[in-house]
Amino acid sequence: MVQTEHSRTSIKRLALGVAAAVGAALLVSGTFVLVAPRQAQATPAYAQKTGKPCGYCHVSPSGGGPLKAAGKKFQKNGHKL
C-alpha cells in the first residue's frame, strides 16, 4: 500500500491524539492518588501529650480507625482535652 502525505499526516495526528489522551488520563489519575482522602491514623504524639491511651479516643485499643465519642469531641476541640 502506498502512503500519501495526507495519510502520513493523519496517522501522525492520530498518534498525537492518543498520546495526549493517555497523558491526560495519567495526569488525572496521578492527581487523584495525590489528593485522595486517607483514613486517619492514631498519632502516638497525642497519647503522649494527653497521657491517655489510644483506646481512649479510638474504638480499637491500639488506635487508628473509628473514633469513640471522646475522640470525636477531642477532634472537634482542636485536639485539646
Whole domain around residue 20: which residue ranges?
Answer: 1-37
Whole-number average pLDDT of the chain: 77
pLDDT of residue 76: 93
Q: What is the pLDDT of residue 31?
A: 54
Give a yes or no: residue 81 inside a domain.
Answer: no
Q: Report the alpha-carbon distance of residue 25 to residue 35 in Å, rounded.
A: 15
Question: The pTM is what?
Answer: 0.47
9 found inside a domain: yes
Q: 67: which strand partners?
A: 58
Q: Are residues 24 and 56 in the same domain?
A: no
Same domain, 29 and 48: no
Q: Give Cβ neighbours of residue 63 (< 8 Å, ≥ 6 apart).
A: 41, 42, 43, 44, 47, 54, 55, 57
